[in-house]
Amino acid sequence: MSEFVLDASAMLAFLNDEPGAGRVSDILLGRRGVLLAVNLTEVLTRLVDWKVPLAEARARLDNLDLPILPFDHALAFAAAELRTPTRHLGLSLGDRACLALAKSLGAVAVTADRPWLELSLGIEIECVRPGEAAT
C-alpha cells in the first residue's frame, strides 16, 4: 500500500524544483507515493500551458515510474462528498479527488497548497512547503 498520495501542486513543485521539491523527491525515490489520473491531467495541463511538449512531459513523468491510479466510481462519490467541507477553501475537483484517494488508502495527502492545512477531515495532510504538516 502506498503511504502518500501526491497532489498536482506537489508534483509541479517537484518538476519545477520549487520549495518542497526535495520532500516529493524523497517520496518518489522511496517508491512510497501514487498519483491519481485526475491529478496527472492537472500536471500535464499546466505543463502544456508552460509550452512543454507532451512528448517531453510524458518522458519526464514516465521516468519517475510513479503509479497512476484510476479515478473510479467510488472515488467520484467520495470526492463529491468532500465538496461541502472544502468549499470555503475553493478546492478543485482534482484536490478533492486526491483527498478522497488518500482517505480510501489510509495514506497521507501531499500538497504544496497551504490552505489544505486548515482542513479537518480525518485525512492526514502534508504540505511540502518547509515546516508544514497537519492532520
User: What is the value of pTM for the model shown?
Assistant: 0.90
Q: Give CA 33 to chain center in angstroms.
A: 9
Q: What is the CATH number of the domain that holds 77?
A: 3.40.50.1010
Task: Examine the pLDDT at 125 and tell me if it is beyond 90.
Answer: yes
Domain that holds residue 46: 4-134
If one counts the domains in the chain, the total is: 1
Q: Rounded to an integer, what distance in angstroms lies between the CA atom of residue 16 and that of residue 35?
A: 17
Q: Give CA 59 to chain center in angstroms.
A: 19
41-85, pLDDT tens digit by residue? 999 999 999 999 999 999 988 999 899 999 999 999 999 999 999
78-116, pLDDT tens digit by residue? 999 999 999 999 999 999 999 999 999 999 999 999 999
The residue among 15, 71, 64 whose CA lies nearest residue 39 is 71
